[in-house]
Structure 1
């Protein structure tokens, strides 16, 4: 099955975390907490832990995000976790990974598995897609 939608980032809160031991690399590492709101065949909200190694000036970096989603896919309600990551050289999005966390589904989404993708249109519209299966 497939569900598509759009989302808005309702909050993006950088969070101070200092890794131990402190190691200096060529890109600064950061952590943020996000809240997202979804519309379309995907409705609901998510809480996200977002980690990145990114250079604002050049646009080069990589992120890894773990999201806890609560809402509905194609009208089936519940909650689940999903993880996604990607890299950029400043112009292209590469090394894309997206996976629904096995065993994390609840309610009508219990047993959900699958993949998906996130994209951002030229006008700034954020899009999400889940390609999923339910028992």
Structure 2
């Protein structure tokens, strides 16, 4: 059975680094982000992201891995999320729990995460997950 976990998160750090500014064409970048979660997820995460800006300097795509550590609905542990935003042409951002990365009471977790960014810059999430126990 799939369960929906809801809440919000704040970016507590955003550390960008341009990778190849001198090279011609699209710009590649790297960012380290930390987040603090509230709601059904309570804890912190560390994100490592690679990004692409198009020739006009606009965000075009990104991939990232994110390790969450804390509690989900009272269960302690950690898991990793994989982000993929394939382009700026209206493709959907996909974020999924990486199979086999759940630890402790979150072992066996699977699912997907949706993020909504408000006009004021705030973020909310819905984590649709399953949790199998052995």
Using structure 1 for the length normalisation, give the TM-score: 0.83
Could you say which residue in structure 2 is the equivalent of 1:97? Answer: 94
Deviates more, 1:50-59 or 1:69-78: 50-59
Question: What's the CA shift for 1:57?
Answer: 5.6
1:98-117, aligned counterparts within 5 Å?
98-117=95-114
Aligned counterparts of 2:88 and 2:117: Cα–Cα separation in 1: 13
Could you say which residue in structure 2 is the equivalent of 1:48? Answer: 47
Runs of 4+ in 1 over 6 A off after TM superposition: none
* Deviation string, structure 1 residues 40-81 (Cα, Å, up to 9, x no partner): 111100011011002596634111110000011112111000
Aligned counterparts of 1:37 and 1:6: Cα–Cα separation in 2: 9
- Contact kept, 8 Å, 1:35 with 1:48, in 2: the verdict is yes
Aligned counterparts of 2:74 and 2:6: Cα–Cα separation in 1: 12
Using structure 2 for the length normalisation, give the TM-score: 0.84
Secondary structure class of the residue paired with 1:26 = coil
Tell me the matched-pair count: 128
Aligned counterparts of 2:6 and 2:63: Cα–Cα separation in 1: 21
Aligned counterparts of 2:115 and 2:55: Cα–Cα separation in 1: 20
Q: In the alignment, is residue 12 of structure 1 matched against residue 14 of structure 2? A: yes
Secondary structure class of the residue paired with 1:108 = helix
Q: Which 5+ residue runs of structure 2 have no aligned equivalent?
A: none
Secondary structure class of the residue paired with 2:101 = coil
Q: Which 5+ residue runs of structure 1 have no aligned equivalent?
A: none
- Contact kept, 8 Å, 1:27 with 1:61, in 2: the verdict is no
- Contact kept, 8 Å, 1:7 with 1:126, in 2: the verdict is yes
